[in-house]
Amino acid sequence: MHLLFRSTRITQKGARLHGQRTDVRVLNGTIVEMGENLNLGEAQEIVGQDLWMCPGWVDTCARFREPGHEYKETLSSGALAAFRGGFTRVLIQPDTHPMLQSRGEVEAVYQLAKSLPVEVYVAAALTRDLKGQEITEMYDLKRAGARMFSQADAPMESARSLGLALQYARQLDCPVQLVPICRDLARGGLMHEGQMSLRLGLKGIPDLAEHIQVARDLAILAYFGGQLHFTKLSSAASLKHIREARAAGLDVTCGVSSAHLFHCDEDVQRFETDYKLWPPLRSRLDREQLRLGIVDGSIDVICSDHMPEDEQGKNVEFARAEYGMASLEAVFLQVLSVFSKEEELDMAIEALTAKPAGRLGIVQSRMETGSEAEVLVFDRAEQTVFNRSQCATQGVNLPYHGRAFSGRIRAVVFKKQTYLA
């Protein structure tokens, strides 16, 4: 395919034209020319009022449900949803059926993912059956292609096992990925503990359940060493511990889901199960502090936390509903709604590209002449009216049908494949 993007703002820190506007010609998946007033020739012209071009986005936390729950999502449908949402690389979690905890299981996923429009990576199980006790065969899993070792959403209760896992993972130069939660403090909770949970009569989960676990895990990291990534923070109090740990020289990074940047616990007031997330949506103050954490660099990564569910998982009363949102095709809209200033959006894009890629040991293509095109092109000046029927995901748990958002994806190009919207 031959495309010519007119006057698009290049957004990739370190690129020669970062922050500048230029025409970009992409031919058969390669950036072949960049400059002003390029000749159209036989290209399809893409124009807009405020076009931006950045690297394809990198997701550090998604579920494609295959193997085991293909009725909720498959590798194919999940990858297509990711591609249409602007992502070109996705790390999937190990809580499938069977779990991704052996070399054969990891290799099978990579074999199935070869022909997909995005690069799929595996976060292999950190402990056997994700029970937080017995460490998996990490060396074999790394050789099979594991990019991280993860507990998915399961707690890591054994401090000793976490310490040993961090040591083993350090020898393999592979991060450990955790969702910090104290099971005892969170037990039975359905949403954030606060005024809204009191008003709704729902048992709450205090933010203490998160930041007390962050403090414990960081103390273990300081003692044993290694690389630690907190997948999705929800509490502002957790950031204090992260900042202190970094100042002390610990190798720790953290992420937040786009939904936690866009929503807060007030969105649960009508008992809509699409807003039942793990960790729970916190207060407005937490949400704003998380946003500022992206802007000042304290939070490294924005992830999708894509968790597709079927009707039986979500079309039930709130207490019985499964956690999660099928968010891959909504992340772009959420992020552009939250980060409206250019300099803030630059930081958000870095948290969706260079920073997660670096943590995963991935080198993305540079936006330079002669490079393979791995790009997302969007127009900030246009609007998108979200249409659930046009989504590629099989998950039913997306709440935005008919809602208008600022921003519109115009094109995604990767692996010589193109999506035009």
Per-residue b/e over 317-337, b at no fewer than 16 CB within 10 Å?
ebeebbbbbbbbbbbbbbbbe
**Angular region, 248: left φ>0, alpha ψ -120 to 50, beta rest:** alpha
256 closest CA partner among 209, 303, 323, 206: 303
Q: How many CA atoms lie within 13 A of 382 on its CB side?
A: 16
Is 305 a residue of the active site? yes
Q: Which two tokens stand for residue 330?
A: 């909504």
What is the rounded distance in angstroms from the CA atom of residue 264 to the CA atom of residue 281? Answer: 5
Q: Which two tokens stand for residue 109?
A: 């996923």
Could you give the angle at which helices 159-171 and 208-224 cross, rounded to 10 degrees?
50
The residue with tokens 């999660």 is 324
CB 77 within 8 A of CB 113: no
- Tell me the torsion sign for CA atoms 421, 363, 339, 90: positive
Catalytic residue among 217, 305, 346, 379: 305
CA angle 280, 210, 106 (to 5 degrees): 80
What is the rounded distance in angstroms from the CA atom of residue 400 to the CA atom of residue 225? Answer: 43
Q: Which two tokens stand for residue 317?
A: 């009363």
299 closest CA partner among 226, 372, 351, 335: 351
What is the rounded distance in angstroms from the CA atom of residue 252 to the CA atom of residue 234? Answer: 16
Residues forming the active site: 305
